[in-house]
Structure 1
Amino acid sequence: MIRIFRLSVYAFIILMGCQTVESENTKTTLFADSVELKIREFQDSRNTPAIISYLNNENARYRLQAARALASLQDSSAVEMLEVLLNDQDSSVRKAAAFSLGMTRDTIAVAPILRALKEEQIPVVRRELLEALGRVIDQPRLILLQQQEASSMPEKEGLAWGLYRAGRRNVFDQFSIEIALSLLNPQNSYRTRLGASNFLIRTRDVDNCAFQDQIRGLSAGEKAAAVRMNLVRSLGSCDKPETIEYLKKTALGDQDYRVRVNAVSALERSAALANDASLLVALLNDTQVNVAIQTAEAIDRSDNIQFNAEMQSLATEHPNQRVRGSLLSGLVKTDNEKWLPVVMEKYGAETDPYAKAYLLTAAAAGNNATQFLAEHIFSDEETVVNSAAMNGFIVSGTRQDILATAAVQPVILRALYSNDIVKTFQALTVVNDNYETYESLLDADELNKLVEENEDEFLVYNVQKLLDRLNGIESEEFAYENKQEIDWQGLQQLSENPKAVIHTTKGDIFLDLFPEDAPGSVINFINLARSGYYNGIRFHRVVPNFVIQAGCDRGDGWGGGTYAIRTEISGRQYEAGTVGMASAGKDTESTQWFITHFPTHHLDDDYTVFAKVTDGMEVVHQIEVGDAINSIEIFNSSEL
């Protein structure tokens, strides 16, 4: 799984001819080549015409770089020229063109990809074409993907991933399911089986339960944990007794905790957790905390859990604060009068800000907690506590339908003018949803003050939008203006194979950085690390069997820089231990990043990959919300 990455080294042929790129060993330092640097700058500025002008360059390396650059732009105006590259005499250029055609996500790319598949002979290029076809194919032409010849291992891989990419857009039929199940044959490669299993869990309307006996058998014999966890998860909502028993056995006994987490998730969707208290207690006591967290949160989401005495005891005594919070939330829902006072009492004795936040969320699950929550919205406690109180206040108020009442209005208006991103955003939503009630109460001077004083572009835009509504003006569409330029000089000073070590309170996590694939994201991360920005920052988000996330200076997920950098899509995929940039949409990345627990390929086409864990995955699996980053060190390859 570990990939050795060498900064600024390519092995491409210089002259066009019948030879492929792999036939030469000419090495060029990427960021010292003025032409390649110019292509990168055009990519960052989203200048499609300028990049297209390099697609017919006589230098194969520049054609390759331009084709790759277009993947991030996802601009269908490049389809015609990318099709020309599908006939390029250089196989790596053809492969890059195929990837970028798929990334346009436009059905106009279907025809050129199909034409290329008729002529292409090299299996690895055919693999890329098949996956690209899955990204752009529509339902009427799906059969054209399904009938593609796939005899070699790369081609089978491409077909599996093509079906998955189509399924992500809900483009599938019964034949797709049958092909995917056939590709799960143990004799096929891991990558083929992984793609096919992803199809089963990421295709929204697929009926896996019609094939549950076959899937159970495949899962029981599957050796790769990443494939097994997908197969287990695909059995969610299936209610056959044999399937339920298999999922229970897997949840309790699979050697990989991530498979156990997925079994709990499947059991929750099958509604098979609620009536088995002994199973719930065993799962809550699992030695891997993420299994306990997944179980507790499933309990909290259920409407018919019967809490026995042991489960009630765990709600106050479990060693993990997040598990306690979720169990208390479930208990508050079942008996508000008994358990809300318990939550308030526990809150008074608690000192950890994240434990307090979980308790506030638990309080919000019941009635009669709005006053308690309001007291902590504007307190001098840590930001994460204030944010949890505000979120809980809105959740509780929405459920009770009281957010427009006279008793609540002063809290909403105070939050609106607070100039705190969480309070103001939440209040904006309430005001806009209940505009007729709040219109006469709004203070235009306070709103103008927010616009003038806040540095967050999106918050300012939304406040201005409310002002425009108040004044009867139609607002313009939002567009980020504060884009950070890439520090090319800093990148050129890096050695090959730059690395990072994240020193956390749970241990060290070692990374290989990928400046060739994501130069803007890598140098942004490096500069922030060297400035000390990440020192003391906590992991504010941990989703069991998904990601750990950090980089928020507020600790509640709403913080970060007042600038944005570009999304950089390179074709690298989200395997276990992949490090990606968090975002709120394309080209909105800033300071937050995440590390994956296991392959999460639904992120591949939308989130920048800029690093990979090479050592310390055991630490990643132990990280909990509230764990801190002590510091991040950046090293050249020779220094580690």
Structure 2
Amino acid sequence: MMIKGSISRRVREAVEKYRAGRRREAVLQLIYLLSDEEERVRLEAIDALGEIGDADTVVELSKLIGDKNSEVRVRVAHALGKIGSVTAMNPLEKLLDDENGDVRFAALKSIVRISGGSSLDALIKALGDEDERVRVAAMEALAKVASRYPDKVVELLRSENWKVRAGAARVLGEVCETRAKDELIMLLDDWDWRVRREAAEALGKIGGEEVIPYLSRMMQEKDAEVRVGIVKALSSIGSPRAREILEEALNDEDARVRLWAASALGSMGSEEAEGALIKSLSDDDMQVKLTALRALARAGGVRAVKAIEPLRLHPDESIRKEAERAIKMIALKHNMTVDEILRKARGA
């Protein structure tokens, strides 16, 4: 049993009994300490029972899920997860309704630990949680089992809760569930921008060339975060038509969209985007300029070096360093030294 740090005398006595093989005596002493007046003792007793892992202690630990101290409830959730008994599922599922996000997060992690993610109802409930940590944990767990319940997960796209719709869209994108394509296309018109963004990114992962017209239309979307999602989707598709739309996105009014478009074009590594990225070197936003330099390091050629060279004298140090790095990367890609590619660029 691993008990870290210093512990109170009475809990230490119980732990020593356990280590001496007096398991039952140790467990009974720790159960008694669950009602101790000293908060530290109660917390340590909970932790110790979790480490011992005796399924018979689930009932006693479960009595604390309504404790007024949220830290007690968090520790109980962790302890029940370590015990790993299916009898702990009921109290853990009750903790998903706790008012405290830390408690709900701990409860969900333990539910996943015990069930292996097969507790679908609990995962669906957690998808709609107010706490983003809980929602993300639910998405990660659901993505691992979504292939076993594809129809059920697709059905979640029609939930009345926007958080559930957005979470389901992300999960379906992660597992590349092609049967969700039509439903995801419909969600591009969802009333909530977060759902539209997740639907767009999911379509980029599973939709292929045929969804580009829908994504292209959405580049007129008023919410910049949705346009960022569309840019990410087009990057996933990576076709010539997707590249063209990404080049157009370099002129977007929002710097975040321009930044992601430049990054996407760099990731695609096509020198056909070189001209558009060179224009982005003049962007007013410093982060866009830096991203364009990084993109040209991957997708640029001699023409890019000619445009980058003046930035070696830029007043901002980060721009100067990134310009030097980009030229070195392009030179390496063309099997040339920096001096050689600079001479060639100057003569171009």
Of 112, 119, 127 in structure 1, the residue corresponding to residue 60 of structure 2 is 119
Of 249, 256, 272 in structure 2, the residue corresponding to residue 315 of structure 1 is 249
How big is the shift at 1:86?
5.7
2:193 aligns to what? 257
Of 66, 87, 93 in structure 1, the residue corresponding to residue 34 of structure 2 is 87
Of 67, 90, 101 in structure 2, the residue corresponding to residue 150 of structure 1 is 90
* Rg comparison, structure with higher value: 2
Ranges in structure 2 where 5+ consecutive residues have no aligned partner: 11-26, 343-348
One-letter code of the match for 2:252? H
Q: Distance in 1 between matches of 2:237 and 2:330?
A: 17
How big is the shift at 1:214?
0.9
Q: Secondary structure at the match of 1:150?
A: helix
One-letter code of the match for 2:153? I
Change (3 A) 1:280 1:249: same
2:16 aligns to what? none
One-letter code of the match for 2:309? E
Q: Secondary structure at the match of 2:249?
A: helix
8 Å CA contact 1:299–1:327 kept in 2: the answer is: no
One-letter code of the match for 1:176? G
2:77 aligns to what? 131
Change (3 A) 1:194 1:300: closer
One-letter code of the match for 1:277? I
Give the alignment's TM-score, normalised by structure 2: 0.66
How big is the shift at 1:283?
2.9
8 Å CA contact 2:232–2:260 kept in 1: the answer is: yes
Q: Distance in 1 between matches of 2:309 and 2:253?
A: 27
Change (3 A) 1:200 1:304: farther
Identity %: 13
How big is the shift at 1:244?
1.3
Report the RMSD for the aligned CA atoms in angstroms.
4.7
Of 109, 112, 119 in structure 2, the residue corresponding to residue 165 of structure 1 is 109
How big is the shift at 1:292?
0.9
Q: Secondary structure at the match of 1:295?
A: helix
Change (3 A) 1:91 1:354: same
Aligned residues: 309
Structure with more strand by fraction: 1
Structure with more helix by fraction: 2
How big is the shift at 1:189?
11
Of 282, 289, 307 in structure 2, the residue corresponding to residue 356 of structure 1 is 289
Ranges in structure 1 where 5+ consecutive residues have no aligned partner: 1-47, 58-79, 103-107, 412-640
Residues 191-212 of structure 1: per-residue CA shift (max 9 Å, x gap)? 5998875444224971313212
2:20 aligns to what? none
User: 2:206 aligned with 1:234, yes or no?
Assistant: no
One-letter code of the match for 1:285? Q
8 Å CA contact 2:205–2:237 kept in 1: the answer is: no
8 Å CA contact 2:205–2:233 kept in 1: the answer is: no
Q: Secondary structure at the match of 2:151?
A: helix
8 Å CA contact 1:325–1:362 kept in 2: the answer is: no
8 Å CA contact 2:127–2:139 kept in 1: the answer is: no
Residues 148-202 of structure 1: per-residue CA shift (max 9 Å, x gap)? 151586445589745743588xx57xx53331x122566x996599887544422
User: 2:122 aligned with 1:183, yes or no?
Assistant: yes
Q: Distance in 1 between matches of 2:140 and 2:279?
A: 43
Of 194, 201, 208 in structure 1, the residue corresponding to residue 139 of structure 2 is 201
Q: Distance in 1 between matches of 2:33 and 2:143?
A: 34
8 Å CA contact 2:201–2:229 kept in 1: the answer is: yes
Q: Distance in 1 between matches of 2:117 and 2:136?
A: 11
Change (3 A) 1:165 1:204: same
Change (3 A) 1:190 1:239: closer
Change (3 A) 1:301 1:131: same
Change (3 A) 1:396 1:353: same
2:21 aligns to what? none
Q: Distance in 2 between matches of 1:274 and 1:260?
A: 19
2:154 aligns to what? 216
Q: Distance in 2 between matches of 1:98 and 1:372?
A: 68
8 Å CA contact 1:364–1:373 kept in 2: the answer is: no
Q: Secondary structure at the match of 1:381?
A: coil
Give the alignment's TM-score, normalised by structure 1: 0.39
8 Å CA contact 2:201–2:232 kept in 1: the answer is: no
**5 Å matches for 1:434-445?**
none
8 Å CA contact 1:228–1:259 kept in 2: the answer is: yes
Of 273, 294, 298 in structure 1, the residue corresponding to residue 229 of structure 2 is 294
Q: Distance in 2 between matches of 1:160 and 1:304?
A: 42
8 Å CA contact 2:93–2:107 kept in 1: the answer is: no
Q: Which has the higher contact order (CA 8 A, sep 6+)?
A: 1
Change (3 A) 1:123 1:208: same
**5 Å matches for 1:416-565?**
none
Residues 520-569 of structure 1: per-residue CA shift (max 9 Å, x gap)? xxxxxxxxxxxxxxxxxxxxxxxxxxxxxxxxxxxxxxxxxxxxxxxxxx
